[in-house]
Structure 1
Amino acid sequence: MRAADLLAEGVAALRAAGLDGAAGDARVLLAHALGVPRDRLTLAMADPAPDSAIACFRRAIAVRAERVPVAQITGQRAFWGHSFIVTADVLDPRPETETLIEAALEQRFDTVLDLGTGSGAIVLSLLAERAQARAVAVDLSQAALDVAARNADALGVAQRVIFQHSDWFAAIEGRFDLIVSNPPYIGTPELAALAPDVRVHEPRMALVPAGDDGSGLAAYRVICAQAVRHLTPGGWLMAEIGHRQGDAVQALFHASGLVNVGLRHDLSGHPRVVLGQRKL
């Protein structure tokens, strides 16, 4: 069977399962099955697919039809020009989170704290850009920390990051030039409206904050209550937000004593990052 025919079969199966983006998902899964870079897939379309690749692709399509995220099937996700290992223990890094990377790289920093690191995509991308920087990355999930450590090794920055099992700041000492976080911010009432890919297959603790009152703001309250004491003078706190949370999170930043509080939008025009600075 030609690769092109196999792709058509996969697209049809995913469309029949009601998945949006069936064509894109099928192309990613076919490239994975064939072991070719995604940008070279077109060149392989006329070639016969090996039996092993056909079997691998069909298994992947069947799993995707059950709404398992593509990144969990392939085991990787491209983010900020790097390939990150992804498992069911971590959030799948989203393109909109790169807004946080862009904002952080506008500032000077030598020390970084990443709260709720997950796969490590945020902090490891920052370390890859700043060769002199060092970081502490924390998560309440040891399984997530294990994934992040594997990613640090793959990116060659493992010697510059410490992974710490911690409930936010509980096990953290010292001050940092930059604190970043993509905390859980989905309010409990919103959970049912999420796509099954996210609601069923991504870790709930990374989606809905502990002690949620329905607003999705519980994690920001904890972070803002303690961030200032862990920032160096002039240091920055930056956090990803849900697109309806800009005003509320900025108010929390102001109430914590941070100055120069601002809001950044992602490429879709949605509010995505709130940032604030400790007074000099």
Structure 2
Amino acid sequence: MPTPRSVLTHPVVWSIPVMALLAWISMPINDELYEFWVNYDPQGDAQQQESLHATRIFRYTSGVLGGQLLALLAGAALARRHSQATALAVAAPLGVLLAGVTVLVAYPLARAREAGHRVGPAYDDPVLVRVLLHELAGYPLLAAAGVGLGILLAGRRTSQRGALLILLGLIWYAAMQVGLAQDDEFGGPSWLLWAVPPIAAGTAVALAGLALDVWSDPPLLVGDGGSSAGIALLVGAGAYALGLNLLGVLVGRRRRRPTRTPPPESAADS
């Protein structure tokens, strides 16, 4: 019979409130993201309109970038408690659940901050809807990738696993910031978007926020609004999910393979 501690420490239990907390904490940060990364002092009608559009994208995507890392870590934690097949069966629905929690927390908070502005419903904004769907669809893929990662780390000591996961978190955060710093189009080699999911995720949000050309009359959408980066995120996350779990299968088979001891040598006849 499971103990209260084992229940409370199960990834399905602790990841949900952590996700809600991430989305809540991210909202005031994302609220200032435009002034931090793009224009710290928007002046005139055009810059104010760009600020409103970008800030709206950033608000409604609050928590998604951190949530993707959380989904990855939750998948890795599942691999420590269950077989690979069971962990994968739980990881994908858990990723969907975490995505739903992100929206349930971020949407009303973002909507409340728009109370003083004349804007339509968020679901009428095609750029916002597209980038949000791409970001949320990455959750179950990254949770599945986390299962494979957890299996690969299972043979290491607890201190080593902790150090590697902390390093992963720092690298993830740095890559995410690289993506958020993009302006109008991705400034690096395109293969980075496909190879590094947090760069693709951050780039998709940044380019969606800056997709409105406010200097034209009337303002027009330019570029693809981060759509290419969003697709790269999903392809890259899916590739990691497949590759890491295939490696996990191979590693698991090797660990289960019994070690054969050589037969004792027969004594020589005297």
TM range (shorter): under 0.3
Normalization by structure 1: what TM-score?
Answer: 0.26
More helix by share: 2
The one of the two structures with greater contact order (alpha-carbon pairs below 8 A, sep at least 6) is 2
Larger Rg: 2
Normalization by structure 2: what TM-score?
Answer: 0.27
